[in-house]
Amino acid sequence: MDQLYEFLNHLKQHGLAQGNLLGLLNVLVGRRITTQQGAEVSAGVTWRSLAPLLKKLRWDKEAVRELGLDPKQLPPRDRERYWYMAIGLARIDSEAAMKAGDLFAEQLQAAGYAVGPSPRR
């Protein structure tokens, strides 16, 4: 889990996921991520495991607007529940999410990560 935390922190610090939250969620939950050297970053993560990481990293809560969600409609005081609900409402298994995940995977490859194929392929 430390590798995943460091990975997400790197994405946040360099703005690599900005504007593509749907693709990020699709990749994190459904795909394997490794470094170019072959070190595993993630083999896929559950919503329940991802929500506390986003809370811990203080991921921008306004990013849910990219998913068509209003931050005011999510639990304001419990950030872990906030992110869990956002992931659940994002429809990360939809065709649009798969396409966003494919585009995000290309961005990650350019940044030095290898991303496995979508589960539907």
Residue 120 lies in a domain: no
* Residue 55 falls inside a structural domain: yes
DSSP state of 116: P
Query: Taking a C-beta distance cutoff of 8 angstroms, is the pair 86, 11 a contact?
Result: no
Residue 20: predicted pLDDT: 92
The residue range of the domain holding 16 is 2-114
Q: Average pLDDT in the 10-19 region?
A: 91
pTM exceeding 0.85: yes
Note the pLDDT tens digit of each residue in 27-75. Answer: 999 899 999 888 899 999 998 999 999 999 999 999 999 999 999 999 9
Domain count, the chain: 1
Residue 6 falls within a domain, yes or no? yes
pLDDT band at 1 (very low <50, low <70, confident <90, very high): low
* Residue 117 confidence (pLDDT) above 90: no
Note whether residue 121 is domain-resident.
no
pLDDT band at 119 (very low <50, low <70, confident <90, very high): confident
Which of 87, 89, 104, 97 shows the shortest CA–CA distance to 19? 104
Residue 64 in any domain: the answer is yes
Question: Tens of pLDDT along 76-113?
Answer: 889 999 999 999 999 999 999 999 999 999 999 999 99
For residue 63, tell me if it sits in a domain.
Answer: yes
Residue 57 domain flag: yes
The pLDDT of residue 100 is: 94
In a domain, 72, yes or no: yes
**Cα separation of 61 and 70, whole Å?**
10
